[in-house]
Structure 1
Amino acid sequence: MPQARQWDSTLFKGSAAYYERGRLPYAPGFAQTLATALGLDGQGRLLDAGCGPGIVTLAMAQFFTEVVGVDPDEDMLAEAGRSAKHRGVTNARWVAARAEDLPAGLGEFRVVLFAQSFHWTDRDHVAAAVLEMLEPGGAFVHVSDHKHAPAEPLPPPLVAPPYERIRDVMSQYLGPVRRAGQGSLSGAAPHSADGTPDREDLVLARAGFENFERHVVPAGQVVNRSADDIVAWVFSRSDSAPHLFGARLEDFERDLREVLREASPDSRFAERLPATEIMTWRKPHGQR
């Protein structure tokens, strides 16, 4: 068995409170698209591995008897619990664990889903564990932004967030090498067209999955964003999580907000929602 990566508990330290506000949502209708693709009927169980604050878990809850969100970050799970209560979702529960801890006594599932989280894991080990946890014919699902679609320009006079300038300010405070918890992202493999590095399709084929399908849910809607939203986006990221700035956090936020004011004096921005890419693989029906 491959050795699991050492979990760095500081990877998203301080980011949970900013995550849902800072991140652009998935394409409207992604949950219904996935439900239709998998023939979901309100029965069975979903496991969302690396669920963060439960954004996808809660969107999918209506299609299952129970949804289980798993994440090693206790703050993310606390945010997920608050969101579930606010939305009146009563069939969700939250488990503090790493994907490498699976099956973790959680039982059998119809669907195990990773929303832009599979690349953080020991993928061969995790894929093999997921295969054992799925019911025959169950689905492994990967959800991500559609990263390679050409960006349509915003109509004037809308202003896009100045992401290049934001990254310049980040590098002034954190250095040119992207940080990630106690380490860096400098050695990370580039992301492939499948959304994670090093041929995710081959990882899942090695584990025994079959019947790959890909669905792209269109978006493109213009979303208004405030300066506070963009600041939340910065602090929601592993490479600019609040703890990385230490005693200079207030100075960084002041400089960041100045960049935003220079780009848009009224601190109002806009972005287009990216399409959402859904990829599914199946456990063979005859396999227990």
Structure 2
Amino acid sequence: MLAAAESALRPQLPEGSSLSLVQSTAEDFTPPAGWQAELVTICRAFHWLDQAAVLTLLDEQVAPDGVVAIFGDNSFWVAGSPWKEAVRDVVKSFLGEERRAGAGTFQHHNRPYSEIMEESPFNEVEEVRVPVHRTWTAESILGYLYSTSFAAPHLFGDRLKEFEAAVKNRLTDFSASDIFPEENEFLIRLGRRGRK
């Protein structure tokens, strides 16, 4: 992912700009001395973090008028369209009914992220919803699935090729042209420092 970020970001930088990409957990990240972020984004990963600890650490790492943005959209697991439901059913047929996550099964967070943020230094929270239209192909669907914890490649063991074939075969029921439209929505929670 760092290599992908490098190749996407480097050409976009103005002359003389610098770019540093660091591999670290959010809990262990230490910024360069004297540097503070204007914006920190956490997308589809907040549920993996020690949420209160990370928000507390960010209080030291984010500029006084900076923003923490926590956002995500609906995963394929919650479906929302017939072709996504079919893909989820194929995943279940290979890995079981329960949604995988890491070494166990997925446990949905029991509190809204906005509520967690309101208990942090970034306690002025604004929610913004952004509709998203995407167009997928069988290959991009598989790429997405492999980036998730519920369908990571290692979970399939020696059945990975069989899984790929099953997904592609099932998708032919929904498109002869290998085009799969998706209507989704990002929920963005913007946290700023406010009342203490």
> For this structure pair, what is the TM-score category when the shorter chain's length is used for normalisation?
0.7 to 0.9
Does residue 155 of structure 2 align to residue 244 of structure 1?
yes
Partners of 1:134 and 1:283 within 8 A in 2: no
Q: Which residue of 2 aligns with 1:119?
A: 47
TM-score calculated relative to the size of structure 2: 0.80
Q: Which residue of 2 aligns with 1:64?
A: none
Does residue 91 of structure 2 align to residue 166 of structure 1?
no
Partners of 1:141 and 1:280 within 8 A in 2: yes
Given candidates 97, 100, 103, the residue that maps to 1:179 is: 100
Q: Which residue of 2 aligns with 1:130?
A: 58
Determine the C-alpha separation between the residues in 2 that align with 1:146 and 1:189. 13
Does residue 76 of structure 2 align to residue 201 of structure 1?
no
Does residue 27 of structure 2 align to residue 100 of structure 1?
yes
Shift of residue 130 of structure 1? 0.6
Structure 2 counterpart of 1:247, one-letter code = D
Unaligned stretches of 5+ residues in structure 2: none
Given candidates 185, 188, 191, the residue that maps to 1:281 is: 191
Determine the C-alpha separation between the residues in 2 that align with 1:93 and 1:217. 29
Q: Once the two structures are aligned, what percentage of the paired residues are identical? A: 29
The correspondence of residues 11-50 of structure 1 with structure 2, limited to 5 A, is: none
Structure 2 counterpart of 1:254, one-letter code = A
Q: Which residue of 2 aligns with 1:79?
A: 4
Determine the C-alpha separation between the residues in 2 that align with 1:81 and 1:198. 35
Given candidates 108, 111, 115, the residue that maps to 1:189 is: 108
Q: Give the number of aligned pairs.
A: 188
Q: Which residue of 2 aligns with 1:265?
A: 176
Q: Which residue of 2 aligns with 1:235?
A: 146
